[in-house]
Chain A
Amino acid sequence: MAPPIALGWWGVPLAIFAGAIRVSTPFLFVSLGEVVTEKAGRINLGLEGTLVMGAMSGYATSYLTGSPWLGVLAAGLVGAMLGLLHGGLCGLPRVNDIAVGIALMLFGTGLAFYLGKPFVAPKAPNLPSLPLGAWSDLPQVHAALSVNALFFIGILAAPLLRWMLANTGLGLMIRMVGDSADAARAMGYHVNRVRLWATAYGGFMAGVGGSFLSLYYPGSWNEGLSSGQGITAVALVIFARWDPMTCLWASLLFGGAGALGPALQSVGVTQGYYLFNAAPYILTLLIMIISCAPDRTLVGAPGELSITR
């Protein structure tokens, strides 16, 4: 291997690009899951707990079975179960979905930390990556373009979901349940059941997103793994106006913003790194302020979503 060459300031855009891919994948999966849940009229704040549970169970399964992909599947199933719990509880009368979300966040995180204690030390097999950067001589490009298969699955899923929501009967049902429960009932749709499955699907995706953290990047399980990615992804869905393709771009943006801090420090810009690290949150808040207006609900918001009424 050729000795590493310093890239100087070129390192910054490369790091942002590489970071955008690495750091965005959990955001991508969680937001592609939550977008369907919210289209159906539920908001699931518990995805933070689901993400962490997914990370833990994915890592544990990979360690116990030797197969990281089995870990991803297990993470998704665990996430789906938590999603069912959320959907089930919200289906009861007079239960507030934001409260359930916060409760699940606590429960999921606590359960993950509790069950995950024996898995902090051992090393589980990680997910493989596709070496798309092999054409370059620079090891940095190798590393930057060493992309994980999950990222590709995510990129493919985004337009697929948009097509599904806009053009299929299933998508129509989901949207109708989310826009107007009365109209949906009139059409004969079972509102609670649709929402239940939408939330389970959202949980599945969040679990998979979590498994990416523990099985690929950073690639090990410990308790500081998530720093609010689940909640940020929920904000991301709103920011993306409930459109799966915009979720994709927004995830990349957030991933790049997250990589900005360390990248700048490595070229010597060292002031104010706390604020750089808070960049994704500041960005989301600014964009929400700019694009919301008091006289109309957010464009594209599902009518039944509790936070926009």
Chain B
Amino acid sequence: MTSTHLTRRAALLGAAAATTTLAARGAYAAPYTVGFIYVGSRTDYGYNQAHAEGAAAVRKMSGVSVVEQSKVPETVACANAMASMIHLDGASLLFPTSFGYFDPYVLRAAKQNRDVTFMHCGGLWKDGDPLNAHSYFGYIDEAVYVSGIVAGHMTKTGKFGFVAAKPIPQVLRNINAFTLAAQSVKPDITTSVIFTGDWFMPVREAEATNSLADQGVDVITCHVDSPKVVIETAEKRGLFTCGYHTDQAVLAPKGYLTGAEWNWPYLYPRWVAELKAGKTISNYIRGGFREGFVKSSPYNKIVPESARQQADAVRNQFKAGSFAIFKGPIKDNKGNIVIPAGKVMGEHDPVLEEMGYLVAGVSGSTS
């Protein structure tokens, strides 16, 4: 047991000697190693699977090797995982993909490892944070909006159900986008929200879906880490569903209308290539349809032409940068005006990242 701090090259050689799998491919020159850390399982049909699909795209690149760890909780285990990827695997680029990793773990690791780049999903990088840390996220509410339009066309009762984990801004934004979109088709549509309290609670998610079905909703969507249970339960009750994170159509062939998906397999290889070539990229990265961050799932064959046309039209407007979801007047569900008439908030408006209200027509409380 040596007390000297292993250099990264020595650690890599030691690691290569200790294992036979993964590791260096092709030339002996150390490949560019990219590490991915997931908070849940890679096969969760949801958030983590979306990132893993991005990682799979990176793995196909030549001269790049990928290491992954899943089920890493937002505790010191995350610091452990990052440190071990840096010191034992020689990673030069890390993707810690869960929101709660950022403060304090990513920030601390970035300060301690100035020559490693950290691309954190969901975080809120601000001036003063280390320059080798970057945070990125997508305006998936644009894709949720498009789903909402389709749902608005398909609903017969005008009641939507939304199973959500926690009332944080990213979730509230999705609930609001979904509702506003549907209300643009039929103004009387309402959404009932049930918060389960945490990102992964299968039994509670099933209970919530059943409760909502009992209340007469006929379209269900969700914002939880793994939509699998919600979609399957809704399918059993004969309801329509809109997916989230990745494409869950195979789970609900009859009722899955469309869904809002991440497009990481498009973005990750690009970023890896840029960083590997030594280019600098922005510390605060956001994007929607236009920049290729998000996409929609294919339509179910039962979705009529009128719905498709309207949804496609809005999507094209997003791509052209000419559509705003949050333009006034918008009232919250307590009657206050949260966006006054005439005011338009673009997706990148930082005020939206702090959203704390639910729009009129949504029943549920943010606290």
Contacts and interface: CB of A to CB of B under 8 A. Distances in A.
The answer on direct contact between A and B (beta carbons under 8 Å) is: yes
A95 B44 CA distance: 39
B11 to A, nearest CB: 28
A281 B218 CA distance: 33
Interface string A219-241: 11011110100000000000000
A258 B207 contact: yes
A224 B205 CA distance: 11
The size class of the interface chain A forms with chain B is 35 or more
Interface string B138-182: 000000000000000000110101000000000000000000000
B232 A218 contact: yes
A4 to B, nearest CB: 4
Interface string B250-279: 010000000000000000000000000000
B3 to A, nearest CB: 34
A219 B233 contact: yes
A7 B207 contact: no
Contact of A266 (B156, B157, B194): B194
Contacts of A265: 193-195, 208, 211, 364
Task: Pick the most buried of A4, A266, A273: most chain B CB atoms within 10 A of its CB.
Answer: A266
A268 interface: yes
Task: Pick the most buried of A1, A218, A277: most chain B CB atoms within 10 A of its CB.
Answer: A218
A222 B207 contact: no
Contacts of A224: 200-203
Nearest to A219: B232
Contacts of B321: none
A11 B215 contact: yes
Nearest to B230: A218
B204 interface: yes
A273 B214 CA distance: 19
Interface in B193-236: 193-197, 200-208, 210-218, 226, 228-229, 232-233, 236
A4 B211 contact: no
A262 B218 contact: no
Interface string A248-265: 000000000011011101
B216 A261 contact: no
B81 to A, nearest CB: 18
A168 interface: no
Contacts of B41: 120, 222-223
Interface of B: 41, 43-45, 156-157, 159, 161, 192-197, 200-208, 210-218, 226, 228-229, 232-233, 236-238, 251, 363-365, 367
Contacts of B213: 4, 139-140, 143
Contacts of A271: 365, 367
Interface stretch (A15-23, A29-37, A59-67, A85-93): A15-23
Interface in A205-222: 213, 217-220, 222
A271 to B, nearest CB: 7
Contact of A267 (B203, B207, B215): B215
A143 B197 contact: no
Contacts of A117: 43
B43 A266 contact: no
B363 A268 contact: yes
Contacts of A245: none
A45 to B, nearest CB: 21
A186 interface: no
Given A139-B237, A143-B214, A277-B204, 13 more contacts: A3-B156, A3-B218, A5-B216, A7-B214, A11-B215, A15-B214, A22-B210, A217-B206, A261-B204, A261-B207, A262-B210, A262-B211, A274-B197
B207 A120 contact: no
Contacts of B200: 224
A123 interface: yes
A23 B202 CA distance: 12
A243 B196 CA distance: 34
A273 B197 contact: yes
B210 A143 contact: yes
B365 A270 contact: yes
29 contacts: A1-B238, A4-B216, A4-B217, A6-B159, A6-B215, A7-B215, A11-B215, A15-B211, A18-B210, A18-B214, A22-B210, A121-B43, A123-B251, A139-B213, A139-B238, A219-B206, A219-B233, A220-B229, A222-B226, A224-B203, A259-B211, A262-B196, A263-B211, A265-B211, A266-B208, A267-B215, A268-B363, A270-B195, A271-B367
Contact of A222 (B192, B193, B202): B202
A220 B210 contact: no
A266 B207 CA distance: 10
Task: Pick the most buried of A222, A263, A268, A274: most chain B CB atoms within 10 A of its CB.
Answer: A222
A277 B165 CA distance: 13
A42 to B, nearest CB: 28
A14 interface: yes
B207 A225 contact: no
Given A6-B159, A121-B43, A268-B363, A218 B202 contact: yes
B197 A266 contact: no
Nearest 3 pairs of A and B residues by beta carbon:
A6-B216, A270-B365, A218-B206
A234 B200 CA distance: 24
A137 B251 CA distance: 28
A47 interface: no
A5 B159 CA distance: 10
Interface string A101-144: 00000000000000001001101000000000000000110011
A23 B215 contact: no
B165 to A, nearest CB: 12
A262 B204 contact: yes
A62 to B, nearest CB: 15
A270 B362 CA distance: 12
Contacts of A225: 202-203
Contacts of B43: 117, 120-121
A144 B216 CA distance: 13
